[in-house]
Structure 1
Amino acid sequence: MDFKKRLRDTGIAVTLAVAATLPLAGTATQASASERSFRMATAWSGGPLMEVGAQAFADNVARLSGGRLEIEVFPGGTLGPALKVSETVPQGVADLGHTWSGYDWGADPTAVLFGGYAGSFDSERMLHWLYRDGGVELWEDWRREEFQLIGMPLFIRTAEVFLHSRKPVQTLEDLEGLKLRTAGAWLGISQQMGAASITMPGGEVYTALERGTIDATEWGTLWENISPGLHRVTKYVIIPGVHQPTAPFELVINPGVWDELSDEDQRIIREAAFITTINSWLTIGQEDAKALDFFRSEGNEIIELSPEVQYRAHELGQAWATEQAEDNPWFARVLEAQSAFAELWGDANRYRNVLTRAD
């Protein structure tokens, strides 16, 4: 497709610089094209996922289209249940949605291969796989075939915080019986590690922690977790997020709405999603670097997981993926593509990382 070819022919820096300073080519065509407005459902009540994700995407679409395409962004729960955006959009309640594909793991576990799980590679590798090794195309084909949706990346996290917890957690023994809020494949994998895991929308987590309904939660990265105030109702910040080494989020579009768009408008949507995704990665990476000091200043204790927990989580994640691939052709197809990419990048740490005394 033209989008794929263009991405291969231009670097990220060039794409961002051009998009940030100039209107898209073909201004005369845009001026004569029809104006459109869309309703966008989200799974978020606010915070970085809304500001750096959904709303930033809407702003990018408006800018790149010269104001012709307008997207009204609705908080989670306004246009249907927050965790059911992928159902709200094909029903026509919303034209577009911003969600995490992993919420659909019950319908098809392939969702977590795109959304990230304990066996995933990191976000830099995920971005390369998506935009340079065919991942975006697989994602779109899977969503259209299995869910009658158009899907593509929109926003990506670095590794999440493992837990904001009312109890200290460092070892496998500490996980035993821990009442943990999570989602996706980690729901089952964490239960294998001894946790008493449940799932709930993000908007309910703070109250559940405050009341002691749950002991701990995973949610976002260090910086993302400042705005929901999880540090105020927990004492411990547990790192690193072995359950979620990466977390791409997703733009879903009603296929009827998508097919009505011109090639140019589809290109604008793709471009805006790409720019928003890269910008979210850069923003979160920078802000995460500042966040540990914030949590310390708020009286939180930082705990690093023992190596045995980190190794065990990755092993269980990979074992889970192998099992899913046995009777799910789509899962097997995507896992094979990711495994081939991981093999290609097998020596990357040797030629990309330079040791210093600070390491």
Structure 2
Amino acid sequence: MKRRSLLGTALTALALVMATLSSPVLAQDKINLRMATSWSGGYTMELMANAYAEEVARLTDGRITIETYPGGTLGSALEVSDLVRNGVADMGHTWMGYDWGEDRTTILFGGFAGSFDSERMLHWLYVGGGLELWREFRADKFDLVSMPLGIRTPEVFLHSNKPVRTLEDFQGLKLRTAGAWLEISSELGAAPVTAPMGEVYTMLERGVVDAVESGSLGENQTSGFHQVAKYVILPGAHQPVAPFELVISPRVWEGISEADRALLQDAARLVTLDCWMTFGQRDAMAKTFYEDEGNEVIDLASEVQKAIYQAGAAYAERNSQENEWFARVWQSQREFDALWQGAERYRKIER
């Protein structure tokens, strides 16, 4: 009886082990991922990278954890895609436009002077074919798995130590920027340079530049730019929208189950939409902040806004002649823009 009892106990234990191994949730090993970012802090870290890590943990009941690293911790803040490609990080959060030097097509996904607004961009991405182009492009040209992760509302055109209203005021202005605006602003007469976002405040404070563009109206409340620059120039005609990006190593992606891949994508989409709504609300709350802080808020002349858009569109047309991918994405965006032409007629009501 004793031997039979021991045998029964052993069989029961074996059955429990087999049941555990057959359960997909319990059998799934925990996955720990390292995320390089382009940010030292601020909204892009809070509302995008960190929010994504939290959402993934929630959707997977803590099975997948993501550790976010501030820009510069694992390598250059402007070269996050390279850090992921080289295996330094499993994934990264960045702005695709930082890779414009490698392929100009990146600025069409990251936003530039010729882009439509954030509402149209979200529609193009998620229901207008943009996401499919985005993922195919990054896989083809950069060997990365990629998807949108966060989106910014229009940026402040400038935090500046000099008033800028007209194109004449723009001539020779020492400006910190990034992406295609480096070239386009130079064509319009400015003297642009680039630098990671974490260095922008110091550049403005020390007079290395006359003005900076970096962030939206609400986002820049915490940047302190208003403390070291007298003028706030609106709106951000150079950057009417800025989708951000999650890049993942194909090696890491292939090692994750299809179910978890779906959860990672769902989390990215949820965070992107939440981020857009939060940015919009904080922009509205910040609209009088700068005047209360003693800044002079300047409205950029409408002819300057139009000139910036026209310069952006011309830039895109030139690049379309030289780059197949650029031409393909730009064509998709133009077709979408034409579809939405005059949408204000049925989307806005006079009040």
TM-score, L = length of structure 1:
0.90
Counterpart CA distance in 2 for 1:154 and 1:251 is 5
Number of aligned residue pairs: give it: 329
Give me the whole-angstrom Cα distance separating, in 2, the residues matched to 1:316 and 1:81.
Answer: 30
SS of 1:41's equivalent?
strand
What SS does the corresponding residue of 1:140 show, helix, strand or coil?
A: helix
Given candidates 184, 202, 209, the residue that maps to 1:207 is 202
2:325 match:
330
The answer for the alignment partner of 1:84 in structure 2 is 79
Structure 1 partner of 2:109 = 114
Q: Which residue of structure 2 aligns with residue 160 of structure 1?
A: 155
2:184 to 171, 189, 204: 189
Following TM superposition, by how much is the alpha carbon of 1:32 offset from its aligned partner in structure 2, in angstroms? 3.3
Segments of structure 2 that go 5 or more residues without pairing to the other structure are 1-22
In structure 2, how many angstroms separate the alpha carbons of the residues matched to 1:222 and 1:132? 28
**Which deviations, in whole Å up to 9, do the C-alpha atoms of 1:127-168 show, x marking residues without a partner?**
000000111111010001000111110000111100000111
In the alignment, is the contact (CA less than 8 A) between 1:119 and 1:314 conserved in 2?
yes
The yes-or-no answer on 1:252 pairing with 2:252 is no
The code of the aligned residue for 2:292 comes to S
SS at match of 2:287: helix
- 2:271 alignment partner, one of 272, 276, 301: 276
- Name the residue aligned to 1:135: 130
| 2:59 is aligned with 1:67 | no
Counterpart of 1:222 (choices 217, 224, 241) is 217
Query: Per-residue displacement from partner, 1:77-101 (whole Å, max 9, x unpaired)?
Result: 0011000001000100000000000
**CA-based RMSD:** 0.8
1:89 is paired with a residue whose SS is helix
Q: Which runs of 5+ in 1 are unaligned?
A: 1-27
Partner amino acid, structure 2, of 1:52: L
What amino acid is the match of 2:173?
L
- In structure 1, what is the Cα distance between the partners aligned to 2:98 and 2:226? 25
**Residue 92 of structure 1 aligns to a residue in which SS?**
coil
Moved over 6 A (4+): none
Conserved 8 A contact 1:30-1:66? no
Measured in 1, the distance between the counterparts of 2:59 and 2:288 equals 37
Percent identity (aligned): 57
Cα contact 1:122–1:245 (8 A) shared by 2: yes
- Among 159, 163, 169, the residue aligned to 1:174: 169
Give distance in 1, aligned partners of 2:204 and 2:326. 34
Distance in 2, Cα, partners of 1:95 & 1:227: 30
* In structure 2, distance between residues paired with 1:160 and 1:91: 32
| Alignment match, 1:300 | 295
Show CA shifts across 1:7-59 (max 9, x none). Answer: xxxxxxxxxxxxxxxxxxxxx64343221000000000001100001000000
Q: Distance in 2 between matches of 1:205 and 1:58?
A: 26
- AA aligned to 2:110 is G
For residues 144-198 of structure 1, give each alpha carbon's deviation from its aligned partner in whole angstroms, at most 9, with x where no partner exists: 1000111110000111100000111110000011000001111110011110011
Q: Aligned residue for 1:4? A: none
Letter in 2 for 1:278: L
Q: Return the offset for 1:354.
A: 1.3
**Paired letter, 1:116:** G
* Bigger Cα Rg: 2
Tell me, yes or no, if the aligned pair for 1:55 and 1:73 is still in contact at 8 Å: yes
Between the aligned partners of 1:193 and 1:354, the Cα distance in structure 2 is: 36
Partner SS, residue 79 of structure 1: coil
Please give the secondary structure, in 1, of the residue aligned with 2:286.
helix
> Counterpart of 2:219 in 1: which secondary structure?
coil
